[in-house]
A and B are shown apart, each in its own frame.
Chain A
Amino acid sequence: MVAVAAPRQLPRVFQYRKSLIFAGIVLAWLVLWMVFRNVGTLALGAADLTPLHRWINDVNDAVGASRNSNPVFLYFFNEIRLVIDEFVTFIQALIAQPSFGRPVPVIGWLGVVAIAGFVSLAVAGWRIALLAVAGFVFLGLQGLWQESMDTLSLTLAAVVISLLVGIPLGIWAGLSDRANRILTPVLDFMQTMPTFVYLAPLTLFFLIGPASATIATLIYAAPPAIRITAHAIRSVPRNTVEASESLGATRNQTLVKVLLPSARKTIVLGINQTIMAALAMVTIAALIDAPGLGKTVVKALQTLDVGTAFNAGLAIVVLAIVLDRVTTAAASERRTLPRWALFGGLGITGVCVYLSYTYLWAAEFQSDVGAGSAISKGATAVTEWAQDSLPVITDGFKDFVTLALINPLQALLAESPWFLVALVIVALSFMIGGVRSAIVSAVCVGLLIATGLWQDSMITLASTLVATIMVMALGIVVGVWMGRSRRADRFIRPVLDAAQVMPAFVYLVPFLALFSASRFTAIIAAVVFAAPVAIKIIADGIRAVSPATVEASTALGSSSWQTIVKVQLPMARGALTLAANQGLIYVLSMVVVGGLVGAGALGYDVVAGFSQGQLYGKGLAAGVAIVVLGVMLDRLTQAAAKRWTN
């Protein structure tokens, strides 16, 4: 909180000595590793349990058995479930499901398209409105209208509830340091705890149905809204607030008249992030019978039908891009429509809604065009071609990276005695962030040991680090390119959006053919998901470097390469560290998906815990271990970032 006036540049001698110490630690580690290899690695077999795991199982069973008699269930969870169920079912009745004794929803496709277009027009302008209309019609042409509307209903419900809870919490965390300190670890937990861990218990508390699916979604989707709102409130300039206070405004007045209006744009970006996060949960929620596109994906993959899965995945991408562009445009500028456009739009929308209520052709999307089957045939053809012709190259690449990078790192982390690795981690943390970082890391290491999954954690850590290195390499190369060229940005950005929201399993099927079931496949999947975030952050960072500086450098005769390396990258180091931090967190959120394609370790433990009752406790412990790894790496990168950017 208090900004310590750190010396801008550390004395050269000191820096030199520091890197010597780093090298010394690593060297000592290597030597001791050779001596103590495979001693005290705290390994645990795939089917073995610790007393802690058994205890969690017992608690889980006891909760399940008391479900029908426990008043907490009868009067608390049931009430929440009822309200949320009603809410989701109501939205579904409006746009997705046959309702009120009619064979179709209240508002048919034409009405929904018109509403989407009008709302986009009102908040985001003509171009975005056209995009929204085209996007929604495309969903219909894919033959996925009803599924898309189910997904949209669930997403809207989850987002609305997230915001109802999240924005007040965010304001509170923005105003009070104590609230912020309490909320931050809770939010970390919500965002990094794998959904698989709480999916089954959720259905115990909230039954199978829309309520459980909505709650699963909002646990993951609410944190961005809270964090970004808090951040927005905090970044309102102090003197603005002081000015308001000195004019005699009360706390409430300051909040409503000064803080919220100035934070508005950033808060809308939080809403945007919440929507994206909610859409990322579509396939996972389908595992507990959430209606919509997720089900189509999951079902198609039972028969490895990549084409159908891709078609449905593409619909999710289209929804995501439309919602993203609308909210982003709404955040960037405030616009008022001319009155004639407003009333005209309202009128047309009203007519469309009426038509879609009354006539079948406007209610049910007749997709005779068959865009859906063309897309899935195309995707299948591409996949088959890739699977037939690429493995010769990709197999070798996998073996090379595994031998040169993954295996050595994993051997060092997972085959050293635990106390040695623990010591190294704490020592490095002290070097990076001082006493505080060392304490945080020590606590995290202790927790990892307590979960009983130390060796699995180390194996997962090794893969995570390799994936993060690849994410950063991609992030810098593509990010710099996008940051320097507007045109590249315009082409690449939609691809990045798609990679972020396309359900992982759609591309995992061909990846399995290219790289077999292996740790490397899991790493590649994580890179596909995490690299877009890193790339976007770096691209924005590079663009934010003042053009004057870049021009000055060019004028002095620097080549492009020199400008990038000597000027743009160093000046964008804030963005670089943020990219590394976010890259790590995103990679960790793919650990469980990795467990489905051969990563083993923590990811597999979580998946197995979801599938087998007696492994439930172990799965939960593995989930906690992932959270702990996430918190530790997050705090370390933040400490490193602070040191480096000061």
Chain B
Amino acid sequence: MARHSVLGAVLVGALALAGCGGAKVGDTSTGATGDCGTFNLAINPWVGYEANAAVLAYVAEKELKCKVTKKELKEEVAWQGFGTGEVDAVVENWGHDDLRKKYIDEQKTAVSAGSTGVKGQIGWYVPPWLAKEHPDILDWNNLNKYADKFKTSESGDKGQLLDGDPSFVTNDEALVKNLNLNYKVVYGGSETALIQAFRQAEKDKKWVLGYFYSPQWLLNEVKLEKVKLPAYTPGCDADAEKIACDYPDYDLDKIVSKKFADANGPAAQLVKNFKWTNEDQNTVAKYIAEDKMKPEDAAKKWADANADKIKAWLPKA
């Protein structure tokens, strides 16, 4: 008895709902894809990269009607994906001579697709308040004078030089040794650790000396100052153990899979033509990191304001 009444109620309810249902699934059609096909774009985990990728993906989707598949991967895994055919392009590469050797020279699964136009810089940085109060700290010769101030629970009786994400090239241990600095390299282990340290150092006027790089979104918020190391000359970093000079400037470039480059479809041409400046990237990175915009919205905002630049990237038909 009870069972029937429940079933009845359910049926009546269903009919009522179906009657006043609302919009049905499939009422609106989805966007069609063009002749560009699928474009597998690796997304390496930092905001500057995301800015490059967002703009490229936006242009590929809007102008070339590609189906863009973003794959969020660390560098190592992304490069590995060139060989397995799962990644078409990496669009901001910081040097990585080891990966170049392995995938471009030895396995021949990847090729370079030229510069992104963005210049990368690696070095030792201090928070702005420190550079202002002790301007001489920006010369490495004076670092030993201040070593005591940089002591932490991790560095013992030496000054602390904070290193970050091990993904990036670092010669810091050799530098400290060869420049006779009274410092100890402490491995923070992640970009998060570095950013948090610098932010707090500026806010609370703490003494922090750390490895950092530009372009990086944090530099919009905290204008870190670079410490001058002995100038870089070509070849001064040849012997890893004897390095006593600054890091070279990096011309950040794009790497694509060999297959993708050989097919030379619209997306491949777009990647090859893509070139902008540090300011452009910083603008988009700021939209993402500080204004908390979605990457696609940030890309659209920049693209709407820079239509001429984008036109130059499009394949010449």
Instruction: List chain A positions with a Cβ less than 8 A from chain B.
Output: 45-47, 61, 64-65, 67-68, 102-104, 199-200, 203-204, 207-209, 286-289, 295, 298-299, 301-305, 339-340, 343-344, 347-348, 351, 354-355, 357-361, 363, 387, 391, 398-399, 402-403, 505, 508-509, 512-513, 516-520, 595-600, 603-604, 607-608, 610-615
Contact call B98/A614, Cβ cutoff below 8 A? yes
Contact call A302/B193, Cβ cutoff below 8 A? no
B185 interfacial contact with A, CB 8 Å: yes
B180 interfacial contact with A, CB 8 Å: no
B231 interfacial contact with A, CB 8 Å: no
Contact call B189/A208, Cβ cutoff below 8 A? no
B76 interfacial contact with A, CB 8 Å: yes
Q: Which of A199, A303, A355 has the most CB of B within 10 A?
A: A303
A contact residues around B25 at 8 Å (CB):
102-104, 357-360, 363
Nearest opposing residue in chain A for B99, CB measure? A613
Can you report 26 A-B residue pairs in the complex whose CB atoms are below 8 A from each other? A45-B173, A47-B173, A67-B83, A103-B25, A103-B28, A203-B77, A204-B80, A289-B71, A303-B47, A305-B292, A344-B3, A344-B10, A347-B7, A351-B14, A355-B21, A358-B18, A360-B22, A360-B27, A361-B21, A517-B154, A519-B153, A598-B187, A604-B189, A608-B166, A611-B75, A612-B167
**Considering only CB atoms and an 8 Å cut-off, how many residues of chain B contact the other chain?**
71
Partner of B26 from the list A103, A304, A305, A402 (CB cut-off 8 Å) is A103
Contact call B24/A358, Cβ cutoff below 8 A? yes
B186 interfacial contact with A, CB 8 Å: yes
Contact call A512/B73, Cβ cutoff below 8 A? no
Contact call B23/A361, Cβ cutoff below 8 A? yes
B contact residues around A398 at 8 Å (CB):
153
Contact call A612/B189, Cβ cutoff below 8 A? no
Partner of A604 from the list B11, B107, B187 (CB cut-off 8 Å) is B187
B contact residues around A343 at 8 Å (CB):
3, 6-7
Report how far A398 CA is from B50 CA in the complex, Å.
36
Partner of A611 from the list B22, B76, B173 (CB cut-off 8 Å) is B76
Nearest opposing residue in chain A for B72, CB measure? A289
6 closest A-B pairs (Cβ-Cβ)?
A608-B166, A517-B188, A344-B6, A347-B10, A611-B167, A517-B193
Question: 5 extra interchain contacts, Cβ-Cβ under 8 A, other than A343-B3, A612-B98?
Answer: A46-B187, A340-B2, A343-B7, A399-B153, A611-B74
Partner of A513 from the list B2, B26, B30, B200 (CB cut-off 8 Å) is B200
Report how far A518 CA is from B152 CA in the complex, Å.
9
Nearest opposing residue in chain A for B189, CB measure? A596
Nearest opposing residue in chain B for A338, CB measure? B2
B312 interfacial contact with A, CB 8 Å: no
Taken residue by residue from 232 to 265, chain B's Cβ proximity to chain A (1 for < 8 Å, 0 otherwise) reads as 0000000010000000000000000000000000
Partner of B98 from the list A68, A359, A613 (CB cut-off 8 Å) is A613
State how many angstroms separate the Cβ of B162 from the closest Cβ of chain A: 6
Contact call A302/B45, Cβ cutoff below 8 A? yes
A contact residues around B77 at 8 Å (CB):
199-200, 203, 208, 287-288
B192 interfacial contact with A, CB 8 Å: yes
Report how far A344 CA is from B154 CA in the complex, Å.
64
Nearest opposing residue in chain B for A508, CB measure? B192
Instruction: Given A611-B167, A612-B76, verify A340-B173 contact (CB < 8 Å).
Output: no
Nearest opposing residue in chain B for A206, CB measure? B84
Taken residue by residue from 284 to 317, chain B's Cβ proximity to chain A (1 for < 8 Å, 0 otherwise) reads as 0000111010000000000000000000000000
Q: Which B residues between 146 and 160 are near A, CB-CB below 8 angstroms?
A: 152-154
Report how far A298 CA is from B47 CA in the complex, Å.
12
Contact call B21/A359, Cβ cutoff below 8 A? yes
Contact call A505/B21, Cβ cutoff below 8 A? no
Report how far A607 CA is from B187 CA in the complex, Å.
11
State how many angstroms separate the Cβ of B237 from the closest Cβ of chain A: 13
B contact residues around A304 at 8 Å (CB):
192, 195-196
B33 interfacial contact with A, CB 8 Å: no
Instruction: Given A399-B153, A611-B165, verify A340-B193 contact (CB < 8 Å).
Output: no
Report how far A358 CA is from B25 CA in the complex, Å.
6
B127 interfacial contact with A, CB 8 Å: no
Main secondary structure of the interface of A (DSSP, over half): helix
Contact call A598/B166, Cβ cutoff below 8 A? no
Total A-B residue pairs with C-beta atoms closer than 8 Å? 208
B215 interfacial contact with A, CB 8 Å: no
Nearest opposing residue in chain A for B81, CB measure? A208
Contact call A301/B173, Cβ cutoff below 8 A? no
A contact residues around B145 at 8 Å (CB):
none
State how many angstroms separate the Cβ of A265 from the closest Cβ of chain B: 31
B87 interfacial contact with A, CB 8 Å: yes
Report how far A557 CA is from B290 CA in the complex, Å.
64
Contact call B188/A402, Cβ cutoff below 8 A? no
B13 interfacial contact with A, CB 8 Å: yes
Instruction: List chain B positions with a Cβ less than 8 A from chain A.
Output: 2-3, 6-7, 10-11, 13-14, 17-18, 21-28, 30, 45-47, 50, 71-77, 80-81, 83-84, 86-87, 98-99, 102, 106-107, 152-154, 162, 165-167, 173, 185-197, 199-200, 204, 217, 240, 288-290, 292
Partner of A597 from the list B83, B152, B190 (CB cut-off 8 Å) is B190
Contact call A387/B200, Cβ cutoff below 8 A? yes
Contact call B152/A301, Cβ cutoff below 8 A? no
Partner of A613 from the list B11, B28, B76 (CB cut-off 8 Å) is B76
Contact call B153/A402, Cβ cutoff below 8 A? yes
Report how far A116 CA is from B313 CA in the complex, Å.
50
B contact residues around A614 at 8 Å (CB):
98
B contact residues around A67 at 8 Å (CB):
83-84
Contact call B166/A612, Cβ cutoff below 8 A? yes
Partner of B188 from the list A295, A348, A598 (CB cut-off 8 Å) is A598
State how many angstroms separate the Cβ of A342 from the closest Cβ of chain B: 9
Instruction: Given A103-B30, A359-B25, verify A598-B189 contact (CB < 8 Å).
Output: yes
Contact call B152/A303, Cβ cutoff below 8 A? no
Contact call B84/A207, Cβ cutoff below 8 A? yes
Contact call A512/B185, Cβ cutoff below 8 A? no
Instruction: Given A61-B102, A360-B25, verify A610-B74 contact (CB < 8 Å).
Output: yes
Report how far A106 CA is from B190 CA in the complex, Å.
40
Report how far A604 CA is from B190 CA in the complex, Å.
10
Contact call B185/A46, Cβ cutoff below 8 A? yes
Contact call A595/B153, Cβ cutoff below 8 A? no
State how many angstroms separate the Cβ of B189 from the closest Cβ of chain A: 4
Contact call B166/A604, Cβ cutoff below 8 A? yes
Nearest opposing residue in chain B for A594, CB measure? B189
Nearest opposing residue in chain A for B107, CB measure? A65
Contact call A519/B154, Cβ cutoff below 8 A? yes
Contact call A512/B84, Cβ cutoff below 8 A? no
Contact call A595/B196, Cβ cutoff below 8 A? no
Report how far A60 CA is from B154 CA in the complex, Å.
34
Report how far A604 CA is from B152 CA in the complex, Å.
19
Nearest opposing residue in chain B for A601, CB measure? B187
Report how far A288 CA is from B84 CA in the complex, Å.
14
Report how far A208 CA is from B85 CA in the complex, Å.
10
State how many angstroms separate the Cβ of B221 from the closest Cβ of chain A: 10
Nearest opposing residue in chain A for B4, CB measure? A340
Partner of A360 from the list B23, B166, B191 (CB cut-off 8 Å) is B23
State how many angstroms separate the Cβ of A602 from the closest Cβ of chain B: 12
Contact call A339/B80, Cβ cutoff below 8 A? no
A contact residues around B194 at 8 Å (CB):
517
Nearest opposing residue in chain B for A355, CB measure? B17
Report how far A103 CA is from B103 CA in the complex, Å.
38
A contact residues around B74 at 8 Å (CB):
200, 287, 610-611
A contact residues around B7 at 8 Å (CB):
343-344, 347
Contact call B10/A348, Cβ cutoff below 8 A? yes
B contact residues around A361 at 8 Å (CB):
21-23
A contact residues around B165 at 8 Å (CB):
611
Instruction: Given A208-B81, A303-B47, A604-B166, verify A599-B189 contact (CB < 8 Å).
Output: yes
Partner of A512 from the list B3, B21, B197 (CB cut-off 8 Å) is B197
Report how far A301 CA is from B217 CA in the complex, Å.
13
Q: Which of B6, B28, B46 has the most CB of A within 10 A?
A: B6
Contact call A301/B192, Cβ cutoff below 8 A? yes
Instruction: Given A203-B81, A615-B166, verify A358-B21 contact (CB < 8 Å).
Output: yes
Report how far A203 CA is from B25 CA in the complex, Å.
36
State how many angstroms separate the Cβ of A216 from the closest Cβ of chain B: 12
